[in-house]
């Protein structure tokens, strides 16, 4: 592989996760992002109490994302080969933590809107 392009990344992700699962995850991420933006516009701010409760889900999201990727790639920690693998592992964990925190905040804000 001489260069890294968007088409190459899409092909790799579709190969790892399968066409429907990958694009389903993309659609779910876009839907959660749209709902989060809706909540921010509706409330005009982040609610501190809701955000702190949502942040409690961050470690769960990090571990779940790492386990999911290890399951989909049929690999594990024993297959870690170098620094780039550790960087990718940290990135996957961070993405899972942020994603589940945003999802938890959005669900809480939609279920219990702030009082005015």
User: Which residues have a Cβ under 8 Å from the Cβ of 48 and sit 6 or more positions away?
Assistant: none
Q: Domain of 21?
A: 6-111
pTM confidence score: 0.85
Residue 42 lies in a domain: yes
Could you tell me the mean pLDDT of each successive run of 10 residues in the chain, 116 residues long?
Answer: 83 88 93 95 90 95 94 83 88 95 95 78
Residue 1 lies in a domain: no
Residue 3 is predicted with a pLDDT of 81
Domain count for the chain, please give it: 1
Residue 50 lies in a domain: yes
Residue 116 lies in a domain: no
Residue 116 is predicted with a pLDDT of 65
Query: C-alpha dihedral over 8, 71, 106, 59, to 10 degrees?
Result: -120
């Amino acid at each position: 592989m001489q260069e890294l392009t968007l088409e190459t990344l899409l092909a790799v992700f579709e190969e790892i996760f399968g066409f429907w699962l990958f694009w389903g995850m993309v659609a779910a991420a876009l839907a959660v992002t749209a709902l989060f933006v809706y909540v921010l516009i509706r409330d005009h701010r982040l609610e501190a109490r809701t955000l702190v409760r949502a942040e409690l889900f961050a470690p769960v999201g990090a571990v779940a994302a790492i386990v999911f990727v290890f399951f989909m790639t049929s690999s594990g920690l024993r297959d870690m080969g170098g620094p780039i693998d550790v960087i990718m592992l940290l990135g996957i964990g961070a993405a899972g933590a942020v994603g589940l925190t945003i999802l938890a905040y959005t669900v809480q804000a939609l279920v219990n809107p702030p009082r005015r």
